[in-house]
Structure 1
Amino acid sequence: MVATAPATWQGRWAHEADTQAFAQRLALCPAVAHATLALHGDLGAGKTTFVRHLLRALGVSGRIKSPTYAVVEPHSAIDCPLMPPGEALSIWHFDFYRFSDPREWEEAGFRELFASPGLKLVEWPERAAGFLPPIDLDLYITPDPMNTDPEHDDARQVRAEARTSAGQLLLAAVQ
């Protein structure tokens, strides 16, 4: 079997409202309920901002904080329209920026979390390379170098790459 290049979408989020709109379109796709999304970008690129918008669109209420120090933050979307009535969507937001000890993978129970149903959002996936299950959608976010408006520095260039059939469904939802 010949490997094919992943399906790709490229775009620009001129303002944070564009980030929110992208997240809302993604949240309407049933495949997101059991997907693994890898978020790529430097510090301050907007990965956590995107996650906050996606979680809100999925029905997560309350404080949504970055898992930078905790490595993983669990969330539950009780009123998620993608789930049957009364059933919550489990979501895990991982940040592997400080991940350096492979033993931590087993000790923290990450294998079990990734094997369980629900949405997994992974920042800094390259730091857990070799441990992660297949990624459905890679999302690359970078500040837009062509942005000339210092009043609005939230412009981002975005590339999404579908790696699985679920990723292709997610990609179709945002196009």
Structure 2
Amino acid sequence: MGTADTPNTKGLSPRQEKWFATARASLERDTGKTMDAWIAIAKTCPETKTMTRIAWMKEHHGLGMNRANIVMSAAFPTGSGWDEPVKLREALWKDPAAVAIFEAVERAATALPDVVTGQRKAFTGFSRNFQFASAKPMKGGQVVLGLAVPPDADPRLAEPKAEGWSERLKSKLTLASPADVDAKLAALIRQAWEAS
């Protein structure tokens, strides 16, 4: 069964949850400062936008991208982050045509065992151990689907270009209707899931 039967408030796979816990736990060990100390430092940041705050933390305090992001997320919770997947989903999936396509993709992905749906600001990801698929709405009610299969796995697939999702997703295709989520696409989703 997929995520519909398994609550996972952050939409993280067990491997991802372990990674975040390890990253937070190692922060004090590796830097000599607790998370609370880092949050206090973050609160002194003069920047107001997420990415400029992260860049400031990297430049002025030497944290890498992942740790800077973890600290800034803790210091400046947005109220629509990973802890609020319903809000993120509602904000992303507004166009009824795109929603219908997305729901067809979601049914195909979550029909597979142990699937975790991870809602992000710009896309919805599907993972087992690793992300194997992602969907994001496009203008005109279409959906772009990224898959962890090579582009040569199907003639409809193309290489992704700066999509903002996992680098494991090696191909993409644009879906124009729920009918595009056919048996061949379901087989590609399964192939990507098997590799994850």
TM-score, normalised with respect to structure 1:
0.28
Structure with more relative contact order (C-alpha pairs < 8 Å, separation 6 or more): 1
Larger Rg: 2
Select the structure that is richer in strand: 1
Select the structure that is richer in helix: 2
